[in-house]
């Protein structure tokens, strides 16, 4: 009998094949490192189109639209969130002000782990993130940035790190030979303005790190 985990993985494989235009497949042998997970388009434009048509999880049924990325894909800095509305003017201006002194915001690439823009309220996106991480990994493989700035939830999933963000914010880690630095979520700062000074200090660290890599 198939377990729920195996059923999900089999469905994932079949949907992946469908997106690639395959009409018939033999029942695949399931394993955590299936080759199909790496069978993605080899250009950013094609990957974007692929994501637009993705139906690997429930978010595809409730999404308002897809959001692949914004800015310069060849930038030395990538800003990564879990599901940030980078097209929201207020958030964009906050990020612009935040990155002032490091790099002009228009020269930075911004992307999310979850590619579907949605308003679904839930606490756990583990399954959805599992589907989307392969897109993110492929996305950064085209133009490897020098530095990834990852907000708390995104950092947790990318690095599989459950440390408290207040303990690790501004610290330097490595992901696939790329420097990655976690930061507090913008929404957290809005609710806890007393931590803005810490964010300022973390951003100064980022500037120093960028100058050395």
Terminal alpha carbon distance of the chain: 51
Q: What is the pLDDT of residues 160-198, one digit of tens each?
A: 999 999 999 999 999 999 999 999 999 999 999 999 999
Residue 120, CA distances (Å) to 61, 67, 114 in order? 11, 15, 12
Question: pLDDT of the chain along its 213 residues, tens only?
Answer: 344 544 555 666 566 556 555 554 444 444 443 444 557 888 888 998 888 888 888 887 878 778 889 999 999 999 999 999 898 899 999 999 999 989 999 999 999 999 888 776 666 788 889 888 989 999 999 889 999 999 999 999 999 999 999 999 999 999 999 999 999 999 999 999 999 999 999 999 999 999 888
The DSSP result for 93-157, as a single string, is: HHHHHHTTTT--GGGSEEEESS-EE-----S--HHHHHHHHHHHHHHHHHS--SEEEEEHHHHHH
In whole angstroms, give the CA distance from residue 69 to residue 143.
13
Which domains can be identified in the chain, with CATH numbers?
64-212 (3.40.470.10)
Burial 84-94 (b: 16+ CB within 10 A, else e): bebeeeebbee
Residue 97 φ then ψ, to 5°: -65, -40
Closest by CA to 184, choosing from 171, 120, 159, is 171
Q: What is the pTM of this model?
A: 0.80
């Amino acid at each position: 009998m198939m377990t729920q985990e195996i059923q999900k993985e089999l469905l994932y494989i079949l949907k992946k094949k469908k997106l690639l235009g395959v009409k018939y497949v033999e029942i695949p042998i399931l394993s955590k490192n299936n080759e199909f997970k790496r069978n993605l388009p080899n250009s950013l434009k094609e990957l974007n189109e692929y994501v637009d048509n993705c139906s690997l999880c429930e978010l595809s049924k409730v999404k308002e639209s897809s959001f692949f990325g914004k800015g310069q894909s060849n930038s030395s800095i990538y800003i990564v969130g879990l599901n940030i509305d980078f097209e929201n003017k207020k958030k964009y201006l906050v990020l612009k002000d935040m990155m002032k002194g490091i790099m002009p915001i228009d020269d930075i690439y911004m992307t999310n782990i979850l590619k579907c823009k949605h308003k679904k309220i839930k606490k756990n996106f583990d399954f959805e993130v599992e589907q989307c991480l392969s897109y993110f990994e492929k996305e950064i493989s085209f133009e490897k940035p020098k530095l990834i700035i990852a907000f708390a939830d995104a950092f947790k999933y990318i690095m599989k790190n459950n440390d408290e963000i207040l303990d690790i914010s501004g610290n330097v880690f490595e992901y696939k030979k790329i420097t990655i630095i976690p930061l507090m979520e913008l929404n957290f700062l809005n609710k806890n303005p007393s931590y803005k000074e810490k964010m300022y200090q973390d951003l100064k660290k980022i500037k120093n790190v960028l100058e050395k890599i």
